[in-house]
A and B are shown apart, each in its own frame.
Chain A
Amino acid sequence: MGSAAAAAVALVTCAGESGALRVLDAYAAEPVTPDAAAVYFRVVNPGAAPDTLLAAECGIAARAAVHAQRAAGGMVHMHPAGPVTVPAEGALQLQPGGLHLMLEGLTVMPRAGDTIHVTLRFARAGAIPVRVPVIPYAEVTDRGGRS
């Protein structure tokens, strides 16, 4: 094995051991209006320290923010979530009816089959670019909706 390959293996191993965040299973619902599009994904944190999702950006949206819904007394309250913790050796799940990344003020209307690009900014892991496939709303329940 060449030294470059060995170094690459070492880097990968090191990244794994240091607990590199991974963003998985991202998708967005094809928006009906340019006002808002909802994005969902799962952040897996294998590391021993928690991380925090601080902000998000998307080149085709004026604004991107995580919104939360919280059940309380038979009601669900939905509100901007602010910074969201990704627990150590745990995961953060965004899903329909729960947490979602809201893209607001779309300058381009993505269509089902398109891929949009979102950058997530974490306190420890820094910026992580995410490719987000766009699916029709009719496929959202089977993809990630709660039942």
Chain B
Amino acid sequence: MRIAILISMVACACGVGGENRSGTAAVEENPHGLRGRVLATPLAKPNVALVATDGRAYDLRAETDGALTLLFFGYTYCPDICPVHMANLAAVLRDLRPSVASRVKVLFVTTDPTRDTPERLRSWLDAFDRSFVGLTGDSSQVAAVQAALLLPPSQLGPADSAGNYLVGHAAAVVAFTPDGMARAMYPFGIRQADWAHDIPKLLAIEWES
């Protein structure tokens, strides 16, 4: 087995607080009492077809229509940011009322498709929650989704002789409310209590636009 040191550039979408350089979305201060970082300008859910771990085409808008959709870009060799987000979401969804939890979809788009085979991605996600959707896409599709969400592009550098290479990804989970708009970002460090607080609100709030 080749063991690669992960040398990563993590594009941190946390702490951007209204700053809008380098493509990060401006955020509002805590409207609706949400603990996530609410986007000042909501962003439409990208119209894209990715590929699910079972090989099916996954039309993002059609498959997640009407659901609170929590989208994350990451990779299975990630030491803490990716598995912590997935573990926290899994724990919160287990504790929420089924009528609430059933309206939430968690999507994980790999930024490391070379190593994250569909089988590996499925197995990794199953360690957290079998309902989590693992997605791959060609690099231009994934880049287009990230650009549409004003996230820094993920980066995958060439492997060196030792098999080490760069993987980069945004550190925040993007939340699309059931109307299909990205409304909030959840940076690394967000706690289960924050998710448990926000998820019912994200489902219930009547958004103006």
B90 contact set on A, CB distance < 8 A: 138
A83 within 8 A of B: no
- Nearest chain A CB to B64's CB is how many angstroms away? 24
**B24: contacting residue among A36, A74, A145, CB under 8 A:** A74
Interface string of A122-147 (1 = CB under 8 A from B): 00000000000000111011100111
8 closest A-B pairs by CB? A137-B87, A138-B87, A78-B8, A38-B79, A96-B80, A138-B91, A146-B189, A76-B10
Q: Which of A10-18, A51-59, A61-69 contacts B (4 or more CB under 8 A)?
A: A61-69
A75 within 8 A of B: yes
Tell me whether B5 and A65 are in contact (CB under 8 A): yes
| A102→B6 CA distance, assembly (Å) | 10
- Nearest chain A CB to B19's CB is how many angstroms away? 8
A33 within 8 A of B: yes
17 contacts between A and B (CB under 8 A): A32-B128, A33-B123, A36-B6, A36-B77, A38-B80, A62-B3, A67-B6, A74-B11, A74-B16, A75-B152, A96-B188, A137-B86, A138-B88, A138-B91, A145-B80, A145-B188, A147-B189
Q: Are A74 and B12 also in contact (CB < 8 A) when A102-B79, A145-B84, A145-B189 are?
A: yes
| A78→B155 CA distance, assembly (Å) | 12
Q: Are A97 and B80 also in contact (CB < 8 A) when A73-B22, A76-B9, A78-B7 are?
A: yes
Tell me whether B84 and A67 are in contact (CB under 8 A): no
A142 contact set on B, CB distance < 8 A: 191-192
A105 within 8 A of B: yes
The residue in chain B whose Cβ has the minimal distance to the Cβ of A65 is B5
Tell me whether A104 and B22 are in contact (CB under 8 A): no
Interface string of B66-97 (1 = CB under 8 A from A): 00000000001101110110111011000000
| A137→B22 CA distance, assembly (Å) | 31
- Nearest chain A CB to B24's CB is how many angstroms away? 7
A4 within 8 A of B: no
Tell me whether A100 and B77 are in contact (CB under 8 A): no
The residue in chain B whose Cβ has the minimal distance to the Cβ of A32 is B127
B171 within 8 A of A: yes
Q: Which residues of A17-61 have CB atoms within 8 Å of chain B's CB atoms? A: 29, 32-33, 35-36, 38
Q: Are A75 and B11 also in contact (CB < 8 A) when A32-B127, A137-B83, A138-B90 are?
A: yes
Tell me whether A140 and B87 are in contact (CB under 8 A): yes
Tell me whether B192 and A69 are in contact (CB under 8 A): no
**B84: contacting residue among A69, A77, A140, CB under 8 A:** A140
B1 within 8 A of A: yes
- Nearest chain B CB to A78's CB is how many angstroms away? 4
| A32→B116 CA distance, assembly (Å) | 13
A80 within 8 A of B: yes
A69 contact set on B, CB distance < 8 A: 8, 10
B56 within 8 A of A: no
Tell me whether A100 and B79 are in contact (CB under 8 A): yes
B8 contact set on A, CB distance < 8 A: 69, 77-79
A108 within 8 A of B: no
**B81: contacting residue among A65, A67, A97, CB under 8 A:** A97
